[in-house]
Amino acid sequence: MSRFRRTTKTRVAVLVLISLFGTLAACGVGAEGEQFSMPEAQANISSSLAPLSTIEMESLSTNRLAPVYWLAESDDTVRLYREFVNIAGTGDPIAGAVSHMLSSKPIDPAYFNLWRSSPSVGVSVNSENVITLDIDKKAFGATLDAGLAERSIAQLVYTATAAASNSGILTDGLEPSVRILVEGSSDFLAFGQISLDQNFTRDVKLAAPLWIIDPQWGSKRAAGQVTFHGLSADFSGGEYWEIRRHEPNSEKKAAKLGELVATGKLHPGTPGLDTNEFTFSYQLEPGEYVFSAWGVDAAQGLEVARESKVFTLTK
């Protein structure tokens, strides 16, 4: 059960299943007067996890897939995760990615979004890599506490900078930043919490310490040699992976683990890879699988930062 708190105008706290919370949030729709707040910490796990040492800017890509960031609950906090999505019919890659983030659902059902859609998204980029976004105040329609407001702004910043880098717009050697305007003005308190009279940069502490890049949730490919790719921080007790059969699950809202196929240890940062990057291949026959990766907190003997992806291999 999710530890997110939704409150009504009577401020009665309720607990909701993550599937329900995710559905409401991803759609950008909640009942009038609802408020969303950070989960109540159940243990001092999150504070003991080291973040990724760095997050490389997304590489220039010639395909039609755009990087978009979402939120997800993990280890009693909320972190940023990334998906690559197909966005058709947009001339501006930054506007396309941001518009998708504001108005669409994540592919992975564990991810969610608290933004509302904006009728338009204005974008400009100067020679100093300052990306200016101009969005409608309706996008800030959700009522969030300070923690979720901070993460939602970071979600926007990560998505805009990722789209700019992915499309080759940025000037090499300069850290990108994002200026957020609301209907032409920076004189605005985002979600009633964060002043927009500043430029925002990526905050590595808000990114998930581990996430799977490939395969993406729900992807399909031919059976055989399958490549697994992702990012992982350096966990005190090591980093691990497993592949399991995926049991039939009509709701498709969570991975249902079946028979263990293979397991092993991850080795991020091996020669030829970025510091936090891991990749390996494994031979698999046709079927539906769940690939999971996680770290271990040695001090507490706990599995942390688990991420799972369901994928299908065809003949």
What is the tens place of the pLDDT at every residue in 4-24? 555 533 222 222 333 334 444
Which residues, other chains included, contact 70 with Cβ-Cβ below 8 Å and sequence gap of 6+?
80, 81, 82, 83, 101, 106, 108, 111, 112, 113, 155
Is 0.75 topped by the overall pTM?
A: yes
Between CA 247 and CA 77, with CA 252 as vertex, the angle to 5 degrees is: 105
Q: Which domains does the chain carry?
A: 5-206 (no CATH), 210-314 (2.60.40.1220)
Q: What percentage of the chain has pLDDT greater than the value 90?
A: 73
For the segment 266-286, the average pLDDT, to the nearest whole number, is 95
- pLDDT score for 1: 35
**pLDDT at position 227 over 80:** yes
pLDDT exceeds cutoff 60 at 303: yes
* Confidence (pLDDT) at 21: 43
Tell whether the model's pLDDT for residue 135 goes beyond 80.
yes
Q: Answer whether 265's CB lies under 8 Å from 239's CB.
A: yes
Indicate if the alpha-carbon torsion angle 290, 18, 95, 148 is positive or negative.
negative
pLDDT of residue 69: 98
Residue 48 pLDDT > 90:
no
Is residue 47 pLDDT above 60, yes or no? no
Predicted confidence at residue 101, as pLDDT, reads 98
